[in-house]
Amino acid sequence: MIYIKDFQNLNSSDVSIAGGKGASLGEMTQVGMSVPPGFVILSCAFERFLAETDLNVEIDSILSKVKTAEMHTIENASEKIQALILSADMPSDIASEILENYQKLGSKFVAVRSSATSEDSASAAWAGQLDTFLNIKEENLLENVQKCWASLFTPRAIFYRFELLERGKTQTNAEDHILVAVVVQKMVNSEKSGIAFSVHPVTQDENQLIIEAGFGLGEAIVSGSVTPDSYVVNKKDLLIIDVNVSEQGRALFRQENGGNEWQDLGDRGKDQVLSEKEIIELSKVIVQIEKHYGFPCDIEWAFENGEFFITQSRPITTLLKKISKDVTEEILNTKWVHLGKWIEPALAAETWLDYGVYAQEFFKEKLDKKILYLNGDFFLSEHDSEIFVDESYEAAKNKNKLFFKNIYDLVEKAIAEITEKSKNIKNVVDFLESYKRLTGVWMPLNNIAKGIEKYVQESDPKAFNLTKGFLDNKPMTLQQIDEMYEIKTKIEKNIGRKFIKSTDIPQKFIPMVKEHLKKYEWINTHHFVVNKFTIDNLIEKMGQGKVNNENNFTEKYTDETKYLIWLLDLIGFVRFKAAETSGYTTYQLKDKLDSIARIKGLNYEEIVEHTINEIASNNISKKIAVDRKLNIGFYFDGEEKILTTKQIKICLNKLLKTENVINESVKGLCARSGKVVGIVKVVNHQNQMEGFKDEMVLVSHQTTPDIIFAMNKSSAIVTDFGGLTSHAAIVARELGKPCIVGTKNATKILKDGDLVEVDADNGVVRILEKKQ
């Protein structure tokens, strides 16, 4: 059996035997890229090692006891498995073959690098989960090969393996088929090194590549130990768009007798690492690699004696699906009317998008049907807003009772439809579509009311003063308020004074009050926000008095005024009835949504942060819920679009001229966009992960694979050092978490327990509340 292959005899189809790293190095060697020579100890060598040492069964047994939610089970499994592998003897023929191939390389120093057989696919990057050893000499070569085998079972690698399974990115069993090959490669004594992305990983602009460069070995950049220079280049014409020079205080270099050491750079660390000529030369290589593979690539490079070497290339796994059209420009070119700030869950906000669709039935083919919702701010196109006002003004002026009667009938139809479905909710998605229709028909009444009020105010100011409250401060149900008033009257008659607090209620009336509360427990439900009606609510409402639905007009009001009052009362009543139905039916829906949430490990408040389509397609997760609580953006122009955090920010800044107010804050580079609020936990070492809870903000000097457990649980990641291609940046994009790198002082300013807002879009962490 063949246990070793040179790079010249491998290509990209050999991932199963050479791992992702080994197969990629072979592929690039074959097409003529400048790759340092080397060979791969194939995965079958590791497989034979396990078989001859009888470790397979023991490893499977240990892995079966792992619980990913309990870090100590991962650590215990890792310690046991690695000890077994490191203490076992390597088959002698394999050891001899490794040493023979080392001699053929003719290099005193080599890099020994793990290459997992499920590593660096287009859907998942192991990003440092396995170990690499640099500047290794012959005397400790075999020992480091065995360390690479053992690194398949480090705590971080075990955790990542199970994490991929849970995310559905691999179909293998946790203990099967993931093997490890080992790359042995001539060591480049790097004067400069770094990482490049053939597509900008943050802006995701396919026309731009980004290079990060530092002095010394690239390991310092990958680990995030230094903050590198960054250069952005236009791929089409190879023009340098942006140069960001970072001061580098120290660098990692080879020691004379092997191994690595940190060296202070002094004033040299202030220099730009790559010249413009070198940036363009490297950019040509990056474009060539991407063109060969046909997909965006993450590339590691080194520079020695005037020559660039490629030491690794893998797919970028963190790019979002390409959006066919950026709607930001279209939104900003539309004239909008701001209808106010209505903070609601995403599910409620989404139902408002059909505002224009169903309102079309009022105004036929005259509407733009453009709706915009940005973090609670609701906008309607100026054209549609004017149509609502102007058309209703004309209808009122011409005493077009048929127009308003049609509106009433449309709402009644929507109410009847959802009321019938609420009796037995069989299909949640179908019910939600009906709810959308109800919202879509009664929401426009806000604007129609403005047209009516405008006409009433102009034609009869006295009537306007009389009727302007018809549309506001209505109780949730007329029947409930009347029954409540009867209870109040009975209690006050019994105690002989005004009823003002719960302790005033005589014992004999308690059952009556409880029955009323149970009957109307849904009263405080508004747009999927469920709060049960309580005795405190009851007492508060009892001060409102009895509702009189009949308007008794005296002779002093003209027929015109009576007509105007009829109009406002009709619109007010129909809005009120729709609101009542909305609250009651969504309260009934709560149990169904609760059931869906529990299956996914969520609660009701989290499930209603999803859209109808997400619920229908079972695309439900805690991450979506957390993100939506901070950023909800919908745009509707006949087709529903969910906006990104960046699009929401741009639109709000332009439409409302909002500005970020920064008090005490930390600034750095945006490595992955997003905005979250959370509690800080500083973790610089594996032993500091204890007490790290879900959704905490991870703050670290620089992240390492050893703290992947905390990175996975965090809501955002902030580091002192590192660039856009550092370990923190790559893993944050893989996990979909906001990330800010290169702040220099995050661990000094931010302390455990601080409440912060991580605004990665702007590269800012704002302290909202310091822990006392």
Structural domains counted in the chain: 5
Q: What is the dihedral of CA 381, 383, 384, 390, to 10 degrees?
A: 140
656/263: higher pLDDT: 263
Confidence (pLDDT) at 475: 42
Residue 474 has pLDDT above 60, yes or no: no
Domain with residue 688: its CATH number is 3.50.30.10
In a domain, 650, yes or no: no
Rounded Cα distance, 615 and 231, in Å: 42
Closest to 232 in 3D by CA, of 247, 212, 251:
212
Question: Do 83 and 67 share a structural domain?
Answer: yes
Q: What is the pLDDT of residue 489?
A: 83
For 63-118, what is each residue's pLDDT tens digit? 888 886 677 888 889 899 999 999 999 999 999 999 999 999 999 999 999 988 86
Contact 214, 725 (CB under 8 A): no
Based on the fold, state whether residues 134 and 69 are members of the same structural domain. yes
| DSSP type of residue 555 | T
Residues 698 and 752 in one domain: yes
Query: Which of 598, 626, 654 delimits the end of a domain?
Result: 626
Token duo for residue 237: 């014409």
Q: Residues 560, 583: one domain?
A: yes
Q: Which of 186, 201, 229 is the last residue of a domain?
A: 186
Q: For residue 646, is it within any domain?
A: no
Residues 485 and 412 in one domain: no
Least confident of 40-49, 277-286, 488-497, 519-528: 519-528
Return the pLDDT at 416: 86
Nearest one of 149, 148, 125, 119 to 49, comparing CA atoms: 149
Domain boundary among 544, 570, 598: 544
What is the strand order of the sheet 132-136 is part of?
4-6, 38-41, 180-186, 110-116, 132-136
Residue 631 within any structural domain of the chain: no
Cα 382 from chain centroid?
32
φ, ψ of residue 210 to 5 degrees: the values are -130, 135
Burial of 106 (0-12, 13-18, 19+ CB in 10 A): exposed
pLDDT band at 557 (very low <50, low <70, confident <90, very high): low
Regarding whether 498 and 471 lie in a shared domain, the answer is: no
708 near 129, Cβ under 8 Å?
yes
> What's this model's pTM, rounded to 2 decimal places?
0.50
List the domain range (segments joined by +) for residue 407: 328-475+555-626
CATH of the domain at 167: 3.30.1490.20
Q: Which residues contact 669 (CB under 8 A, 6 or more apart)?
A: 230, 723, 724, 740, 741, 742, 763
Q: Three-state DSSP class for 665?
A: strand
Separation CA 116–CA 414 (nearest Å):
58
CATH number of 296's domain: 3.30.470.20
565 plus 581 within the same structural domain: yes
Does residue 136 share a domain with residue 66? yes
**Predicted confidence (pLDDT) per residue in 647-690, tens digit:** 888 888 788 764 333 346 788 888 888 888 889 999 988 878 88
Spatial contact of 43 and 117, defined as CB atoms under 8 Å apart: yes
- Mean pLDDT over all residues of the chain? 81
Contacts of 369 (CB under 8 A, 6+ apart): 356, 357, 359, 360, 384, 636, 637, 638
The answer to whether position 654 is within a domain reads no
pLDDT of res. 717: 96
Q: Is 688 part of any domain?
A: yes
Spatial neighbors of 408 by CB under 8 A, at least 6 apart, are 570, 574
C-alpha pair distances (Å), 222 with each of 194, 404, 730, 731: 8, 67, 9, 11
Residue 319 pLDDT: 59
Q: Which one has a higher pLDDT value, 478 or 336?
A: 336
Is residue 549 within 8 Å of 382, Cβ to Cβ?
A: no
pLDDT on residue 350: 82
* Structural domain includes residue 606: yes
- Asked if 471 and 482 sit in the same domain, the reply is no
My answer on whether 448 and 573 are in the same domain is yes
State whether 443 and 355 are in the same domain.
Answer: yes
Q: Are both 72 and 103 inside the same structural domain?
A: yes
Residue 443 lies in a domain: yes
- Contact present, 597 and 604 (Cβ < 8 Å): yes
DSSP secondary structure code for residue 78 in this structure: H
Domain presence at residue 656: no
| Residue 313: strand pairing partners | 299
